[in-house]
Amino acid sequence: MSDDIKIKIRNLYKIFGNDPEMALEHVKNGMGKTDLLAEHNHVLGLNDINVDMPAGKTTVIMGLSGSGKSTLIRHLNRLIDPTAGEVLVDGDDILSYSDKQLRDLRQHRMSMVFQKFALFPHRTVLENTGLAPSIEGKSKKKYEDEARKWLARVGLEGQGEQYPHQLSGGMQQRVGIARALTSNSDIMLMDEAFSALDPLIRTDMQNLLIELQAELQKTVVFITHDLDESLKLADHLVILKDGFIVQQGEPQHILLNPCDPYIEDFVSDINRARVLRVRSVMRKTTEEMGEISGEVDHDDNLESLIERSGGDTTNRYRVMKDGKQVGILEMTDLVRSLVPQGGSSDPEAARRAG
């Protein structure tokens, strides 16, 4: 995977109302969402958002209803224009794009997977999957091989002649993913893509996305209100509240170091042993450390290690990555990591964090 930044968001504000420029001055002077609505009848959607989204990785934008997460993702393909700020894709300022450049961005460089599937009921599964090339004027004969390839990849081989109403919700969302892949775009935007699915189907879709990412390394921007889903999918996690970023960073780091009571509340009920990885609690070293109880992979979760150790807190493990030692894990350190730590009491410091 590349660590290059695919999408940069700089000082992004969005205010809904009759005079957003007037309202923006109040926001920049410290007025929050509640007061802006009460005193000026304007809605603060986004408040000074700054995010770098790495190429080939999954950035998850998480927050409760009204936090601004769906507003943010719609700025990336300019379904919404900001009140102020920059959105850079591959270094290009897309806010300066012409209509033609915008069409090219949406057709070739970005694809979107929606919560409600957004399939055309009068088109077959194959025709829905080939939507992007068909919009460009390509015939079904020219795109069907590509569409069938991606349908097979998402587990829908042989379903091309069906219609959406003949498929379950999970199968329809697989069509949505296949459609996004058939467009051959580098960037996939996924707005609450799995929220409408039953829990077991949702888990299957999350696993499918992880498999596809390992294979294809798309730049994925995934919107969700679910912390478990965020921790499972994210390489980079951004947590929003009332339009501003409370904390962002590597999910394991956020779980171990919540910067604010709001984040502490989010992570308090998480099964930490199932989510945390060995790499997050090990001590980095390539030196031999005397007697060890065995070797573990840096990406194993702590739950598997607890089971393996039988709960013996005297055990020590050599941590391996790609056949080389990268650290040592003491079981006493593992146990300490399972106890939630207190966060910062300074809200402004919390807002700046990440």
Written out in words, the top-level CATH class of the domain with range 5-249 is alpha beta
* 135 neighbors 107 (Cβ within 8 angstroms): yes
pLDDT at 312: 87
* 201 neighbors 224 (Cβ within 8 angstroms): no
Question: What end-to-end distance do the CA atoms of the chain give, in Å?
Answer: 22
pLDDT at 350: 40
Give the model confidence (pLDDT) of 214-232 as tens digits. Answer: 999 999 999 999 988 999 9
pLDDT at 137: 84
d(CA 39, CA 25): 13
pLDDT at 348: 44
pLDDT at 3: 59
Identify the band that residue 347 occupies on the pLDDT scale cut at 50, 70 and 90. very low
Greater model confidence, 229 or 351: 229
Average confidence (pLDDT) over 264-289: 87
Identify the band that residue 63 occupies on the pLDDT scale cut at 50, 70 and 90. very high
Identify the band that residue 140 occupies on the pLDDT scale cut at 50, 70 and 90. confident
Residue labelled with tokens 């002649």:
161
d(CA 128, CA 4): 32
* DSSP code string of 253-264: HHHHS--SHHHH
d(CA 354, CA 350): 9
pTM across the whole model: 0.84
Q: Which of 38-42, 53-57, 154-158, 233-237 bottoms out in mean pLDDT, i.e. has the lowest?
A: 154-158
Greater model confidence, 146 or 341: 146
Identify the band that residue 345 occupies on the pLDDT scale cut at 50, 70 and 90. very low
pLDDT at 341: 65
d(CA 254, CA 164): 40
Q: Which residues of 262-292 are buried (b: 16+ CB within 10 A; e: fewer)?
A: bbeebbeeeebbebbbbbbbbeeeeeeeeee
Residue 244 has pLDDT above 80, yes or no: yes
Identify the band that residue 135 occupies on the pLDDT scale cut at 50, 70 and 90. confident
Average confidence (pLDDT) over 75-92: 96
Greater model confidence, 50 or 290: 50
Average confidence (pLDDT) over 128-139: 88
pLDDT at 114: 80
d(CA 16, CA 252): 35
Identify the band that residue 342 occupies on the pLDDT scale cut at 50, 70 and 90. low
Give the model confidence (pLDDT) of 4-21 as tens digits. Answer: 999 999 999 999 999 999
Q: Biggest alpha carbon distance in the chain?
A: 70
Residue 150 has pLDDT above 90, yes or no: yes
Q: Which of 19-28, 40-49, 195-204 bottoms out in mean pLDDT, i.e. has the lowest?
A: 195-204
Average confidence (pLDDT) over 181-201: 90
Average confidence (pLDDT) over 60-68: 93
Give the model confidence (pLDDT) of 282-340 as tens digits. Answer: 999 998 878 899 999 998 989 889 988 888 888 999 999 999 999 999 999 999 888 87
Quickly count helices (H) and strands (E) in the chain: 17, 14
Could you tell me which CATH number the domain at 273-337 has?
Answer: 3.90.1280.20
Domains in the chain: boundaries: 5-249, 273-337
Q: Residues of the chain with pLDDT > 90: what percent? A: 64
Q: Name the average pLDDT for the chain.
A: 90
> Which two three-digit tokens encode residue 26?
């109040």
